[in-house]
């Protein structure tokens, strides 16, 4: 993992070197400072969100936080939160969520996100869409100028039925951007990755800018066979970035 500097070196103060995982933890802990007793909390998924969930569990155990109810965004987070003794519920019982804390794969200057490289985008979007406040926590490696421009995957969750047909439709939708559409599989077995909802993920890769994000989002969602995509447009209310020069926070 890349080691990044979090303070300016000086003769009296040696530089503190944090790994990428430690930076994720710094961002996560900062976000948990916004959690208050009695909140209904959306619990994110991934290696950054995991630190936030752990911290919430710790503060509950210490009695610093009380009466928290967590709404997990994946089976994995459900398991983690259970093991930490965080009381859990769902959107059926608690349709309004006070605050969600989650990571992201890409964040653009307008706080639009790509999520779902961990495969949990559907539940994340449902829960984070039901939140009054959504804090996104990242290390600075996630910051991009344009979504989809990092050369990394833009995930789309689709139904398994005739997945090749849907993948081809997705590819054609973005043919001007030189789109490649790949079924997400396990490298060891070649078996498709199956989401918590029993669906497949098509990872889209672009050679060029995809242009207007809202238009791209609408076009993807119009395809029958698509369940949801990993662009989270205008959903984040706060961004916390941990990087070389410390932690920065930005509100919508
Ligand atoms: C999972 C997600 C994650 O939030 C995203 O992939 C970031 O993960 P990490 O914190 O491990 O980098 O969207 O579906």
Number of Cβ within 10 Å of residue 221's Cβ equals 13
Which of 103, 154, 239, when mutated, tests ligand 1's pocket best, judged by the most ligand atoms within 8 Å of its CB? 103
Mean pLDDT of the chain: 94
DSSP letters, 121-158, are HHHHHHHHTTEEEEEEEEEGGGB-SSTT-SSS-EEEEE
Token pair in block for residue 134: 């959504």
Query: What pLDDT, on a 0 to 100 scale, did the predictor assign at position 10?
Result: 57
Q: How far is CA 43 from CA 89, 152, 214, 241, in A?
A: 11, 25, 26, 18
Atom in ligand 1 nearest the alpha carbon of residue 121 = 14
Q: In sequence order, what E strands does the chain have?
A: 3-5, 17-19, 40-43, 69-72, 97-102, 106-107, 113-114, 131-139, 154-158, 180-183, 200-205, 226-229, 231-232, 238-243, 246-251
Nearest residue CA, atom 7 of ligand 1? 104
Ligand 1: centre distance to CA 128 (Å): 14
Ligand 1: centre distance to CA 13 (Å): 34
Rg (CA), the chain: 19
Nearest residue CA, atom 5 of ligand 1? 104
Q: How far is CA 246 from CA 22, 99, 161, 236, 251, in A?
A: 12, 24, 47, 21, 17
pLDDT beneath 50, residues of the chain:
1-9
Query: What pLDDT, on a 0 to 100 scale, did the predictor assign at position 14?
Result: 61
Query: What pLDDT, on a 0 to 100 scale, did the predictor assign at position 164?
Result: 98
Q: How far apart are CA 176 and CA 180, in angstroms?
A: 11
Residues near 6 by Cβ (< 8 Å), separated by ≥ 6?
15, 16, 17, 18, 23, 26, 242, 243, 244, 245, 246
Collapse the DSSP code of 238 into the 3-class scheme (helix H, G, I; strand E, B; otherwise coil) and give the result.
strand
Query: What pLDDT, on a 0 to 100 scale, did the predictor assign at position 12?
Result: 63
Q: How far apart are CA 73 and CA 45, in angstroms?
A: 6
Atom in ligand 1 nearest the alpha carbon of residue 120 = 14
CA nearest neighbour of 148 among 100, 107, 176, 186: 107
Query: What pLDDT, on a 0 to 100 scale, did the predictor assign at position 244?
Result: 84
Ligand 1: centre distance to CA 117 (Å): 6
The residues facing 180 across adjacent strands are 205
> Rounded to the nearest 10 degrees, what angle do helices 20-32 and 49-61 cross at?
50
47 backbone φψ class: left, alpha, beta (φ>0; ψ -120 to 50): alpha
Q: How far apart are CA 189 and CA 191, in angstroms?
A: 5
Query: Helices (H), strands (E): how many in the chain?
Result: 6, 15
Token pair in block for residue 213: 């994000």
Query: What pLDDT, on a 0 to 100 scale, did the predictor assign at position 189?
Result: 96
Query: What pLDDT, on a 0 to 100 scale, did the predictor assign at position 1?
Result: 36
Is residue 201 within 8 Å of residue 166, measured between CB atoms?
no
């Amino acid at each position: 993992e890349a080691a990044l500097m979090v303070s300016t070196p000086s003769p009296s103060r040696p530089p503190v070197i944090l790994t990428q995982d430690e930076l994720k933890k710094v961002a996560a802990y900062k976000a948990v400072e916004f959690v208050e007793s009695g909140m209904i909390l959306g619990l994110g998924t991934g290696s950054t969100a995991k630190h936030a969930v752990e911290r919430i569990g710790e503060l509950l155990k210490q009695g610093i936080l009380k009466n928290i109810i967590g709404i997990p965004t994946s089976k994995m987070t459900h398991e983690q939160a259970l093991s930490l003794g965080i009381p859990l519920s769902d959107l059926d019982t608690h349709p309004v969520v006070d605050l969600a804390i989650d990571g992201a794969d890409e964040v653009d200057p307008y706080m639009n996100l790509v999520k779902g490289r961990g495969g949990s985008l559907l539940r994340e979007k449902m829960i984070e869409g039901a939140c009054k406040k959504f804090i996104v926590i990242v290390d600075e490696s996630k910051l991009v100028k344009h979504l989809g421009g990092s050369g990394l995957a833009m995930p789309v969750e689709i139904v398994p039925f005739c997945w090749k047909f849907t993948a081809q439709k997705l590819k054609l939708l973005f043919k001007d951007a030189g789109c490649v559409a790949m079924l997400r599989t396990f490298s060891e077995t070649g078996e498709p990755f199956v989401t918590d909802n029993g669906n497949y993920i098509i990872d889209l890769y672009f050679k060029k800018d995809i242009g207007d994000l809202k238009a791209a989002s609408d076009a993807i969602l119009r395809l029958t066979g698509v369940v949801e995509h990993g662009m989270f447009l205008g959903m984040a209310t706060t961004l916390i970035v941990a990087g070389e020069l410390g932690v920065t926070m930005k509100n919508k």
